[in-house]
Structure 1
Amino acid sequence: MQDQHFDEPVRVALGRSRNTIYKVERVAQAADILMNRWPVKTGGYHVAARKACLGVLEDLKEPRYARAPFVNAAIEADILVERDREG
Protein backbone atom coordinates (compact mmCIF):
# COMPACT_ATOMS: atom_id res chain seq x y z
CA MET A 1 0.00 0.00 0.00
CA GLN A 2 1.33 3.40 -0.95
CA ASP A 3 1.67 6.40 1.35
CA GLN A 4 -1.83 7.88 1.24
CA HIS A 5 -1.13 11.41 2.44
CA PHE A 6 -2.31 14.46 0.56
CA ASP A 7 0.49 16.70 -0.74
CA GLU A 8 -1.03 19.51 1.32
CA PRO A 9 -3.61 19.18 4.11
CA VAL A 10 -7.19 20.33 3.63
CA ARG A 11 -8.94 22.04 6.52
CA VAL A 12 -12.68 21.69 6.97
CA ALA A 13 -15.03 23.07 9.62
CA LEU A 14 -17.48 20.53 11.00
CA GLY A 15 -19.90 20.20 13.88
CA ARG A 16 -23.24 21.81 14.60
CA SER A 17 -21.78 25.31 14.59
CA ARG A 18 -18.94 24.36 12.26
CA ASN A 19 -16.55 25.37 15.00
CA THR A 20 -14.45 22.21 14.97
CA ILE A 21 -11.69 22.43 12.39
CA TYR A 22 -10.20 19.22 11.05
CA LYS A 23 -6.82 19.16 9.37
CA VAL A 24 -7.27 16.37 6.82
CA GLU A 25 -3.92 14.93 5.80
CA ARG A 26 -4.73 11.38 4.73
CA VAL A 27 -7.13 9.91 2.21
CA ALA A 28 -8.55 7.48 4.78
CA GLN A 29 -9.33 10.43 7.06
CA ALA A 30 -11.03 12.25 4.18
CA ALA A 31 -13.10 9.15 3.36
CA ASP A 32 -14.16 8.76 6.99
CA ILE A 33 -15.24 12.40 7.18
CA LEU A 34 -17.12 12.16 3.87
CA MET A 35 -18.98 9.04 5.00
CA ASN A 36 -19.63 9.82 8.66
CA ARG A 37 -19.34 13.53 9.45
CA TRP A 38 -20.20 15.38 6.26
CA PRO A 39 -22.99 17.94 6.77
CA VAL A 40 -24.64 17.32 3.38
CA LYS A 41 -24.85 13.76 2.05
CA THR A 42 -25.91 14.78 -1.45
CA GLY A 43 -24.28 16.76 -4.18
CA GLY A 44 -22.21 15.93 -7.20
CA TYR A 45 -18.90 16.91 -5.64
CA HIS A 46 -19.60 14.88 -2.51
CA VAL A 47 -20.23 11.77 -4.61
CA ALA A 48 -17.14 12.41 -6.74
CA ALA A 49 -14.97 12.87 -3.64
CA ARG A 50 -16.21 9.62 -2.11
CA LYS A 51 -15.46 7.75 -5.34
CA ALA A 52 -12.01 9.33 -5.63
CA CYS A 53 -11.10 8.46 -2.04
CA LEU A 54 -12.28 4.89 -2.47
CA GLY A 55 -10.21 4.61 -5.65
CA VAL A 56 -7.11 5.62 -3.72
CA LEU A 57 -7.92 3.30 -0.81
CA GLU A 58 -8.27 0.43 -3.27
CA ASP A 59 -4.84 1.35 -4.72
CA LEU A 60 -6.35 2.25 -8.10
CA LYS A 61 -5.20 5.87 -7.98
CA GLU A 62 -2.60 8.04 -6.28
CA PRO A 63 -3.64 10.26 -3.33
CA ARG A 64 -3.26 13.44 -5.40
CA TYR A 65 -6.30 12.36 -7.44
CA ALA A 66 -8.53 12.51 -4.35
CA ARG A 67 -7.50 15.89 -2.98
CA ALA A 68 -9.16 18.15 -5.59
CA PRO A 69 -12.53 16.34 -5.42
CA PHE A 70 -12.37 16.55 -1.61
CA VAL A 71 -11.69 20.30 -1.78
CA ASN A 72 -14.52 20.79 -4.29
CA ALA A 73 -16.90 18.87 -2.02
CA ALA A 74 -15.85 21.05 0.92
CA ILE A 75 -16.54 24.18 -1.13
CA GLU A 76 -19.92 22.74 -2.20
CA ALA A 77 -20.81 22.10 1.47
CA ASP A 78 -19.43 25.51 2.52
CA ILE A 79 -17.03 23.98 5.06
CA LEU A 80 -13.63 24.63 3.49
CA VAL A 81 -11.42 26.63 5.83
CA GLU A 82 -9.40 29.19 3.93
CA ARG A 83 -5.81 29.77 4.97
CA ASP A 84 -6.64 33.19 6.44
CA ARG A 85 -9.31 31.62 8.69
CA GLU A 86 -6.95 28.98 10.08
CA GLY A 87 -5.64 31.26 12.77
Structure 2
Amino acid sequence: MRKSVQSWPSAKDGSPLLKRRGLNGVPMVNLEFLPVILENNQTGRNETISSISEAAAFLLNGWPKKRSSLHLEARVACYEAQSGIVSVSAARTIFVEAAIEANIYVGQEPPAILDQRRN
Protein backbone atom coordinates (compact mmCIF):
# COMPACT_ATOMS: atom_id res chain seq x y z
CA MET A 1 0.00 0.00 0.00
CA ARG A 2 1.39 3.39 -0.99
CA LYS A 3 1.59 6.31 1.37
CA SER A 4 -0.60 9.31 0.68
CA VAL A 5 0.99 12.44 -0.75
CA GLN A 6 0.66 14.17 2.63
CA SER A 7 2.63 11.48 4.47
CA TRP A 8 5.29 10.89 1.81
CA PRO A 9 8.75 11.62 3.26
CA SER A 10 10.54 14.73 2.07
CA ALA A 11 14.26 15.16 1.53
CA LYS A 12 14.36 17.04 4.85
CA ASP A 13 13.19 13.96 6.78
CA GLY A 14 16.60 12.28 6.56
CA SER A 15 14.95 8.89 6.28
CA PRO A 16 17.07 5.86 5.31
CA LEU A 17 14.86 5.36 2.24
CA LEU A 18 15.71 8.82 0.96
CA LYS A 19 19.39 8.49 1.83
CA ARG A 20 19.54 5.24 -0.13
CA ARG A 21 18.02 6.98 -3.11
CA GLY A 22 20.48 9.87 -3.03
CA LEU A 23 18.17 12.69 -1.95
CA ASN A 24 20.04 14.10 1.05
CA GLY A 25 22.64 16.22 -0.65
CA VAL A 26 24.19 13.34 -2.58
CA PRO A 27 24.49 14.24 -6.28
CA MET A 28 22.07 12.33 -8.46
CA VAL A 29 23.27 10.64 -11.65
CA ASN A 30 22.25 12.59 -14.74
CA LEU A 31 20.12 10.16 -16.77
CA GLU A 32 19.03 12.00 -19.90
CA PHE A 33 15.84 11.52 -21.93
CA LEU A 34 14.02 13.17 -24.84
CA PRO A 35 13.31 16.73 -23.62
CA VAL A 36 9.84 17.57 -22.32
CA ILE A 37 8.58 21.16 -22.27
CA LEU A 38 6.45 22.14 -19.28
CA GLU A 39 4.82 25.35 -18.13
CA ASN A 40 6.20 26.52 -14.80
CA ASN A 41 3.26 28.25 -13.10
CA GLN A 42 5.56 29.82 -10.52
CA THR A 43 7.74 31.67 -13.06
CA GLY A 44 5.22 31.94 -15.89
CA ARG A 45 7.80 30.52 -18.30
CA ASN A 46 8.25 27.23 -20.10
CA GLU A 47 10.99 24.89 -18.88
CA THR A 48 12.72 22.14 -20.80
CA ILE A 49 13.27 19.02 -18.71
CA SER A 50 15.74 16.57 -20.24
CA SER A 51 16.92 14.28 -17.44
CA ILE A 52 15.72 12.31 -14.46
CA SER A 53 17.44 14.69 -12.03
CA GLU A 54 15.76 17.72 -13.67
CA ALA A 55 12.39 15.93 -13.58
CA ALA A 56 12.82 15.08 -9.89
CA ALA A 57 13.74 18.69 -9.08
CA PHE A 58 10.75 20.01 -11.06
CA LEU A 59 8.40 17.58 -9.31
CA LEU A 60 9.59 18.93 -5.94
CA ASN A 61 10.03 22.62 -6.70
CA GLY A 62 8.21 23.62 -9.89
CA TRP A 63 5.02 21.59 -9.71
CA PRO A 64 1.64 23.27 -9.15
CA LYS A 65 0.42 23.22 -5.55
CA LYS A 66 -2.37 20.73 -6.31
CA ARG A 67 -0.70 17.32 -6.39
CA SER A 68 -2.26 13.99 -7.24
CA SER A 69 -1.36 10.35 -6.81
CA LEU A 70 0.10 10.44 -10.33
CA HIS A 71 2.47 13.23 -9.18
CA LEU A 72 3.59 10.93 -6.37
CA GLU A 73 4.06 8.04 -8.80
CA ALA A 74 6.24 10.28 -11.00
CA ARG A 75 8.39 11.21 -7.99
CA VAL A 76 8.81 7.57 -7.05
CA ALA A 77 9.60 6.63 -10.67
CA CYS A 78 12.34 9.28 -10.86
CA TYR A 79 13.94 8.04 -7.67
CA GLU A 80 13.65 4.43 -8.79
CA ALA A 81 15.23 5.28 -12.16
CA GLN A 82 18.16 6.80 -10.26
CA SER A 83 18.47 3.52 -8.36
CA GLY A 84 18.21 1.39 -11.50
CA ILE A 85 14.91 -0.16 -10.44
CA VAL A 86 12.91 1.21 -13.41
CA SER A 87 14.05 2.38 -16.82
CA VAL A 88 14.58 6.04 -17.68
CA SER A 89 11.95 5.64 -20.40
CA ALA A 90 9.35 4.34 -17.93
CA ALA A 91 10.07 7.19 -15.50
CA ARG A 92 9.78 9.75 -18.33
CA THR A 93 6.44 8.27 -19.42
CA ILE A 94 4.98 8.58 -15.91
CA PHE A 95 6.43 12.10 -15.60
CA VAL A 96 4.72 13.15 -18.87
CA GLU A 97 1.42 11.55 -17.79
CA ALA A 98 1.53 13.49 -14.52
CA ALA A 99 2.32 16.73 -16.39
CA ILE A 100 -0.62 16.18 -18.74
CA GLU A 101 -2.90 15.53 -15.77
CA ALA A 102 -1.64 18.73 -14.08
CA ASN A 103 -2.28 20.65 -17.32
CA ILE A 104 1.34 21.89 -17.54
CA TYR A 105 2.54 19.73 -20.44
CA VAL A 106 3.48 21.87 -23.46
CA GLY A 107 5.17 19.28 -25.67
CA GLN A 108 8.55 17.88 -26.56
CA GLU A 109 11.38 19.31 -28.61
CA PRO A 110 11.42 18.18 -32.23
CA PRO A 111 14.41 15.95 -33.19
CA ALA A 112 15.82 18.70 -35.46
CA ILE A 113 16.29 21.03 -32.48
CA LEU A 114 17.94 18.24 -30.53
CA ASP A 115 20.36 17.58 -33.39
CA GLN A 116 21.31 21.29 -33.49
CA ARG A 117 22.02 21.28 -29.73
CA ARG A 118 24.34 18.28 -30.04
CA ASN A 119 26.44 19.89 -32.80
- TM-score (structure 1 length as normaliser): 0.80
Out of 36, 40, 45, the position equivalent to 1:20 is 45
- How many Å apart are 1:41 and its aligned residue? 4.7
Alpha-carbon spacing, 1:9–1:71, altered in 2? closer, same or farther (3 Å)? same
Size of the alignment, in residue pairs?
81
| 1:76 lines up with 2:76 in the alignment | no
Which has the higher Rg, Structure 1 or Structure 2? 2
Identify which of structures 1 and 2 has the higher relative contact order when contacts are C-alpha pairs closer than 8 Å and 6+ apart: 1
Large movers: runs of 4+ above 2 Å: none
How far apart, in 1, do the equivalents of 2:53 and 2:30 lie?
Answer: 11
The gaps in structure 1 that reach 5 residues or longer are none
**Residues 1:29 and 1:2: Cα distance change in structure 2 (over 3 Å):** closer
Match in the other structure for 2:75: 50
Local SS of the residue matching 2:63 = coil
- The alignment-based identity, stated in percent, is 33
2:71 and 2:98 in contact (8 A); partners too = yes
RMSD between aligned residues: 2.1
| Structure 2: segments with no counterpart, 5+ residues | 1-27, 109-119
For 1:40, the equivalent position in structure 2 comes to 65
